[in-house]
């Protein structure tokens, strides 16, 4: 039974969906630069550290694999002059991802700025900066850009291209699947042909845009660099560049698929004999097989370069991601094709709607299975589901999918009514009116152009009224169109949230980095306070040296030394000296000469501890001209 669908408001509806899609893509891309998926977890020297002598090189440690160029790490003197050689060295070992850059010898004292920029393993740019000082802190004139990597105009354009590439993939794959699996006669319908072709054009244009914008997106951030051939060459040597080029090649094959689907296949709309029926079945099988392979290949270009290719179980995650993308495209793209058919095609069989209902149900089942695995892999724990940006976006996505499934259930009910219910008397009457009106009596067109235009308007009004009467003859069809339109609107928002998830740091990674950060930067609960017994060997030479370092962490500290006799009373001495040594890093001894404040009390301000770790405190006490002793003790300084 055909489902009559007039052209009522079709252009307006499609324009509204396209505008909504573009606006959401713009907001999504412009809201913030992509969150980093690799993070700086450590450096030597540390941020804010003060070292006694200039280090030979700077090292940076990251949470996962990254890509760096020769100018990816820059060390700048207080004046802004480069202090590094520009040669980035891979110092990774086992699971530790570490890179370094040598420094020029003979660097002067002062505060140095380390600026770095890289690309994480899942294709997202990251950047940052920190400072350290040699000898003592100083003022610096270094001005770093306020925008992080992947931000600004280039980041917004790249984000829009990412969103529209997903949208194009969904329309291309989902529209083709709808024709082959649900409504083969639809291959000859112009509106469906335009939908699939527009999907192909959108995906191709977006992929080209991403390829050109990739260099400035991960590098300078300047739009003009999109046409720099040297930058494009560097992009082609990366994993992301190879994926984008592979996608373009597959889209070339997809163009042939579209041409056959809407050419030779569409011409076999009504086979007349057994041989023609067999030929059409063979062609359907060939198109389904070839189209499925191409669709899986295009989906794999995302899986091989983004979230699924890094982290936990990539060998399992990548094929699961491909299945997830194919299920999304089949469901949402088929939904878009059904919406276009209901609003733009004069009639669509209720069997096609039922077929899509079954295909959509299977797609949702695949989405549930693959989505559950992806959620476990990317989120990792229940606290991360609500305590990280990725987990919160995932909850929004789950809510939207649930809403979409609920609306789809309503659509299935309308579909069932169409299948069970015969054509109503009102529909028959309206159809009869329409058939009668198809052969109107000849109308003499007056010579007056104004009168002719008036008659044309009247005729159009009559036609519109007739179309509306046919459209409203069966409330089931009207309900189906409205529910499918609601599904499409929710799907547009769902696509925006899904795109945001692909550029958000996974909850599992964020928690892991937070744990490392807390471990590496944990400060002591209070000042360092230690007691060291001593005996100079002379008369009244026994006692205890109490040393307090406040706040007891890297950077400037206040040092206090108290000398006490065995009975607890203050003990004076002609001379007290203190030194700090980091044996593991071969730093020191760093001397500190405290001044005598009162009987048995010495103090010094601004004692610099270059970096946290285990330090050896060395105290020298002289009680007479010949009686002196040096005692040592290892303490943890945060």
pLDDT of residue 415: 61
pLDDT of residue 169: 95
Which position has the token pair 């004069």? Answer: 346
C-beta separation of 231 from 217 below 8 A:
no
Q: What is the pTM of this model?
A: 0.63
Q: What's CA 349's distance to the chain center, in Å? A: 41
Distance CA 332, CA 343 (A): 17
The backbone torsions φ and ψ at residue 22, rounded to the nearest 5 degrees and listed phi first, read -65, -40
Question: What one-character DSSP code corresponds to residue 431?
Answer: H
Best CA proximity match to 426, nearest among 437, 434, 417: 434
List all residues 6 or more positions away from 568 whose beta carbon is below 8 Å from its beta carbon. none
Distance CA 309, CA 318 (A): 6
Q: Is the peptide bond before 589 cis (omega within 30 degrees of 0)?
A: yes
Cα 9 to Cα 246, 342, 475, 478: the distances in Å are 39, 11, 17, 13
Q: Is 121 helix (H, G, I), strand (E, B) or coil?
A: coil
Distance CA 396, CA 404 (A): 12
pLDDT of residue 470: 54
Cα 563 to Cα 47, 214, 225, 566, 571: the distances in Å are 35, 65, 67, 10, 5
Other C-beta atoms lying within 10 Å of the C-beta of residue 526: 10
Distance CA 160, CA 148 (A): 18
List the Cα angle 431/436/438 in 5-degree steps. Answer: 95
598-635 tens-digit pLDDT: 888 999 888 888 888 888 999 999 888 888 999 988 88
Question: What one-character DSSP code corresponds to residue 329?
Answer: I
Best CA proximity match to 113, nearest among 86, 69, 71, 144: 144
Go through the chain and tell me how many residues it has. 638
Cα(first)–Cα(last) distance of the chain, in Å?
78
Distance CA 302, CA 306 (A): 6
Q: Which long-range contacts (CB under 8 A, 24 or more apart) does 393-398 make?
A: 393/497, 393/500, 393/501, 393/504, 394/501, 394/507, 396/497, 397/494, 397/497, 397/498, 397/501
The residues of the chain scoring below 50 in pLDDT are 1-36, 419-439, 516-525
pLDDT of residue 209: 94
What number of helices (H) and strands (E) belong to the chain? 16, 20
User: Where would I find the beta strands (DSSP E) of 262-412?
Assistant: 347-349
Alpha helices (runs of H) in 72-188, residue ranges in sequence order: 152-181
4-63 tens-digit pLDDT: 443 434 444 444 444 444 444 433 333 333 344 577 888 888 888 888 888 888 999 887
Best CA proximity match to 328, nearest among 374, 289, 371, 363: 363
- CA torsion 302-306-307-308 (nearest 10°) is 50
> Beta 125-134 vs 50-51: how paired, if at all?
parallel
User: 10: which 2 tokens?
Assistant: 């079709």
C-beta separation of 391 from 497 below 8 A:
no
C-beta separation of 193 from 262 below 8 A:
yes
């Amino acid at each position: 039974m055909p489902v009559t669908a007039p052209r009522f408001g079709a252009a307006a509806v499609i324009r509204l969906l396209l505008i909504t899609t573009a606006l959401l893509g713009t907001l999504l891309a412009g809201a913030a630069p992509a969150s980093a998926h690799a993070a700086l977890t450590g450096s030597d020297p540390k941020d804010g550290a003060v070292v006694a002598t200039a280090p030979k090189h700077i090292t940076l440690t990251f949470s996962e694999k990254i890509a760096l160029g020769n100018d990816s790490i820059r060390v700048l003197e207080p004046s802004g002059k480069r202090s590094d050689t520009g040669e980035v060295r891979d110092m990774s070992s086992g699971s530790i991802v570490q890179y370094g850059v040598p420094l020029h010898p003979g660097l002067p004292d002062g505060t140095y700025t380390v600026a770095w920029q890289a690309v994480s393993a899942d294709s997202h740019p990251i950047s940052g900066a920190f400072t350290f000082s040699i000898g003592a802190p100083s003022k610096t004139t270094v001005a770093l850009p306020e925008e992080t990597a992947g931000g600004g105009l280039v980041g917004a354009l790249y984000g829009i291209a990412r969103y529209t590439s997903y949208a194009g993939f969904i329309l291309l794959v989902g529209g083709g699947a709808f024709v082959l699996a649900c409504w083969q006669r639809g291959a000859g319908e112009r509106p469906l042909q335009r939908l699939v072709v527009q999907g192909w054009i959108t995906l191709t244009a977006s992929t080209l845009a991403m390829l050109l914008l990739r260099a400035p997106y991960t590098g300078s951030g300047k739009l003009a660099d999109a046409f720099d051939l040297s930058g494009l060459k560097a992009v082609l040597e990366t994993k992301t560049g190879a994926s984008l080029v592979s996608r373009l090649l597959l889209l070339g094959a997809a163009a042939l698929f579209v041409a056959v689907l809407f050419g030779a296949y569409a011409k076999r709309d009504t086979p007349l004999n057994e041989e023609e029926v067999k030929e059409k079945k063979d062609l359907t099988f060939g198109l389904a097989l070839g189209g499925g392979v191409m669709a899986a290949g295009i989906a794999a270009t995302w899986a091989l370069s983004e979230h699924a290719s890094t982290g936990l179980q990539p060998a399992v995650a990548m094929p699961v991601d491909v299945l997830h993308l194919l299920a999304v495209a089949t469901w949402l793209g088929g939904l878009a094709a059904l919406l276009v058919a209901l609003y733009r095609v004069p009639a669509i069989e209720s069997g096609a709607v039922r077929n899509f209902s079954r295909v959509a149900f299977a797609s949702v089942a695949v989405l549930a299975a693959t989505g559950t695995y992806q959620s476990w892999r990317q989120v990792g724990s229940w606290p991360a589901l609500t305590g990280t940006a990725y987990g919160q976006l995932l909850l929004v996505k789950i809510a939207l999918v649930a809403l979409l499934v609920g609306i789809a259930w309503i659509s299935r009910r309308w579909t069932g009514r169409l299948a069970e219910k015969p054509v109503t008397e009102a529909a028959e009457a309206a159809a009869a009116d329409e058939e009668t009106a198809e052969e109107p009596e000849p109308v003499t067109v007056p010579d007056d152009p104004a009168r002719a235009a008036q008659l044309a308007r009247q005729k159009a009004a009559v036609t519109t009224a007739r179309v509306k009467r046919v459209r409203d003859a069966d409330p089931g069809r009207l309900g189906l169109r409205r529910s499918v339109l609601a599904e499409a609107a929710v799907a547009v928002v769902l696509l925006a949230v899904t795109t945001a998830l692909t550029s958000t740091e996974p909850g599992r990674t964020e928690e892991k980095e937070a744990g490392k950060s807390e471990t590496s930067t944990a400060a002591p609960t209070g000042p360092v306070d230690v007691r060291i017994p001593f005996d100079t060997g002379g008369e009244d030479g026994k006692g205890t040296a109490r040393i307090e370092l406040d706040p007891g962490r890297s950077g400037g500290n206040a040092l206090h030394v108290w000398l006490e006799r065995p009975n607890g009373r203050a003990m004076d001495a002609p001379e007290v000296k203190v030194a700090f040594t980091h044996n593991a890093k071969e730093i020191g001894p760093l001397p500190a000469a405290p001044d005598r404040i009162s009987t048995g009390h010495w103090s010094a301000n601004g004692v610099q501890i270059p970096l946290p770790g285990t330090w050896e405190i060395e105290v020298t006490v002289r009680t007479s001209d010949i009686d002196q002793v040096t005692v040592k003790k290892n303490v943890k300084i945060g």
